[in-house]
Structure formats: C-alpha cells, structure tokens
Chain A
Amino acid sequence: AQKVTQAQTEISVVEKEDVTLDCVYETRDTTYYLFWYKQPPSGELVFLIRRNSFDEQNEISGRYSWNFQKSTSSFNFTITASQVVDSAVYFCALPEITGRRALTFGSGTRLQVQP
C-alpha cells in the first residue's frame, strides 16, 4: 500500500520568509509520480506540479521550488519570499501506477503567512 506523510500540520511565517513543506512517501512501485496541490481558503484544489521518479533535478517555478530526493523518499516544496496569498493548505499526493490510478494524499500542511 502507498502512503504519504506530511508531518507538519501547520506552519506560520511572516511575509517574505522562506518556508519548506515536507513530504515523505512510501511506494513499492519502481516508477512513480508525485504531485503537489494547493487548497486556498476558497476551498478548491489547485494542481501545482507533477514530478516523475526518473527526474531528480530540482524544479523551480517563480517563487516555488521542489526538491525530490529518491534516496530519502522525500518531495519537499519550498516557497521563497512568501506572500499572504500563499496562505493555504498544501497537499502532497502519490498516484497509483496501475489499477484505479487514484491519488493517495498526505494529510496536508496548513501554511499561514502573516503580513
């Protein structure tokens, strides 16, 4: 069975601070993908990124960056120079490679960015 652990339940930072959200996963698949989703206070789920297990290069998109470490089964998400609009719940997710293709979600990390 797959498992995704987001040990940080809630993080509070002040605007312009950098913050890293941790994600640790377990899977028996040798090939797999990892996703991050954002859930702002309005409640919708917004897809942020998909990475595959073949590519361990860091991904950067504006103020967002992702660090994928296969050796430690981690896929961490860093927001640089955080802004109030980054306040949201962030979910890490692992899709099943076969069968139902459903996502296994972590329990989420609530990020509060204070002005």
Chain B
Amino acid sequence: DAGITQSPRHKVTETGTPVTLRCHQTENHRYMYWYRQDPGHGLRLIHYSYGVKDTDKGEVSDGYSVSRSKTEDFLLTLESATSSQTSVYFCAISEKQNTEAFFGQGTRLTVV
C-alpha cells in the first residue's frame, strides 16, 4: 500500500472556525491532491500541488487554501468552516502523468 496518512481521521468543528487537514506521504511522489466526496457528486478536486510551493485550484476551491512546504506534506485549510464544507476529504498522490493516483484513508469533517 502507498504510504499516505491523513490526519485527523474524524473532526467535528463549529461554523466559523479554521480547520487544517494534513496529508503526509512517504512515497516522494510529485503530485498531491485534495478531493472532497459528497453523495451524488463522486470526488471533486479542491486543490492540487505539482511540487513544493507549487499549488493551484481545482473545481471547488472556494473557501479552501493549501500549502506544501515539503514534498511529503500537503495541508488543506478551511479558513472559516461552513456547514457546506461538511464532507469526506481525500488526499491523493501520483508519481507522474497517466499513472494511478493512490488515496489516503479519508477525513470525515462535520461542521455544526
């Protein structure tokens, strides 16, 4: 199994609070991604990174920011959590183009 760890695995937070999710990989893969999974939508890309300090937006990036200061870590921050951000968040890594992406275990975030 690919070495990807997401933390925390579960979190309940209040509306308006900042939240940071962490993705850590031990594979030295170049590409890292954050997706959210919601019923009826499959997985949708929030942000991605193609190298240290190189990040860009996906389709559903509003309300989220990311940082990648080291190859192995990709952080997702909800600046001010809203109920619409209640979701399951997956981190993924990919070595190069056209290779499969490997996913972390997911983080279930509930915003109340």
Which residues of A are at the interface with B, using a C-beta cutoff of 8 A? 4, 6, 9, 33, 35, 37, 43-45, 47, 50, 52, 91, 95, 97-98, 100-103, 105-108
**A98 vs B97: C-alpha distance when bound (angstroms):** 8
B31-54 Cβ-contact flags toward A at 8 Å (1 or 0) = 101010000111111001010000
- How far apart sit A44 and B106, CA to CA, in the bound complex (Å)? 7
- Of B43, B88, B103, chain A has the most CB atoms within 10 Å of the CB of B43
Return A65 CB to nearest CB of chain B, in Å: 19
Task: Report the minimum CB–CB distance from A90 to chain B (whole Å).
Answer: 11
B84 within 8 A of A: no
The smallest C-beta distance from B43 to any residue of chain A, in angstroms, reads 5
Looking at the assembled complex, report how far the CB atom of A23 sits from the nearest CB atom of chain B, in whole angstroms: 11
A45 CA / B92 CA spacing, docked (Å) = 10
- Main secondary structure on B side of the interface with A: strand
Q: Shortest distance in angstroms between B87's beta carbon and chain A's nearest beta carbon?
A: 13
Q: Inside 8 A of B98's CB, which chain A residues have their CB?
A: 33, 50, 52, 95, 97, 101
Contact between B42 and A47, CB atoms less than 8 A apart: no
Chain B interface (Cβ within 8 Å of chain A)? 31, 33, 35, 40-45, 48, 50, 56, 58, 88, 90, 92, 94, 96-103, 105-106
Tell me whether B42 and A108 are in contact (CB under 8 A): yes
Given contacts A44-B103, A44-B105, A102-B48, whether A97 and B58 have CB atoms under 8 Å apart is no
Contact indicator B41/A107 (Cβ below 8 Å)? yes
A101 touches B94 (CB 8 A): yes
Complex CA gap A59/B56 in Å reads 35
CB-based contact A95/B42 at 8 Å: no
Q: Which of A35, A44, A52, A101 has the most CB of B within 10 A?
A: A101
